[in-house]
A = this chain, B = another copy of it.
Amino acid sequence: MSRSSFEESLMQFVEELKDESEMTEKQRRILQASLKLFAAKGFHASSTAEIAREAGVAEGTIFRHYKSKKDLLLAVVAPVLVKFAAPFILKDVRVIFQEQAKKPLAEVLTELYRNRLELIGANEKHVRILLQEAFFHEEIREAMLSTVYQEVKRLAAKLIEERKEAGELRPLPTEAVFRMVLSSLVGLILFKHVTEPEEYAKRSDEEQIALTVDMLLYGIANR
């Protein structure tokens, strides 16, 4: 059920995704208003009446383009999954494996963290909605895990094992190393966007990334 529900609802959705150029003005404004309201108040707390008002559109117009409110949520959210999945898989697969295979690990990690911070900064509201609604909608949660996460993990595992064999990484379990790399990134993102925006801002992104990569590679203990 949930597997096919995911493939039917999300994959179908991604296929049918119009790019912005072939939308009408009003349709674009509906998406924009939904983005704003969903991010601010959440999906269930945002009514279609409010969305229509915010978009300067009749309520009926929403349902002309999206057959239900949930459809509208998916339309807002799906492009981000594509945006996140595609750069991760398409761009970084090249960056990490081809260009950077000879580069030092610290540089690869720095580039990765920089790239992810930028991507999230540029899509803050979308990410917000994605995380919020992943709590409730299994389709979204599963889409995130099975599309983005699993692929990232697969790529990372390969890289980690290569570097382990090359003696650059300690002989630790691959998935533990992966967890640590991801944890550091998530922590960095949380500090920047949630818990301590001002404290974070005392250092530049570059400094924060450099610190994080350094601690990740060499630990916090003195030897």
- A residues bordering B, Cβ < 8 Å? 41-42, 44-45, 105, 128, 131-132, 135-136, 145, 149, 167-170, 172-173, 175-177, 179-184, 186-188, 190-191, 195-196, 199, 203, 208, 211-212, 214-223
Contacts and interface: CB of A to CB of B under 8 A. Distances in A.
A187 B188 contact: no
15 contacts: A41-B136, A167-B222, A169-B220, A170-B218, A170-B221, A170-B222, A172-B215, A173-B211, A179-B188, A180-B184, A180-B187, A180-B215, A182-B187, A186-B186, A186-B187
How many chain copies does the complex carry?
Answer: 2
Contacts of A45: 44, 136
A44 B45 CA distance: 6
A208 B172 CA distance: 12
A69 to B, nearest CB: 12
The 5 closest A-B pairs by CB, nearest first: A183-B187, A44-B44, A219-B219, A217-B221, A218-B219
Chain B CB count within 10 A is highest, among A105, A172, A179, A214, for: A179
Contact of A135 (B42, B172, B217, B219): B42
A66 B222 CA distance: 54
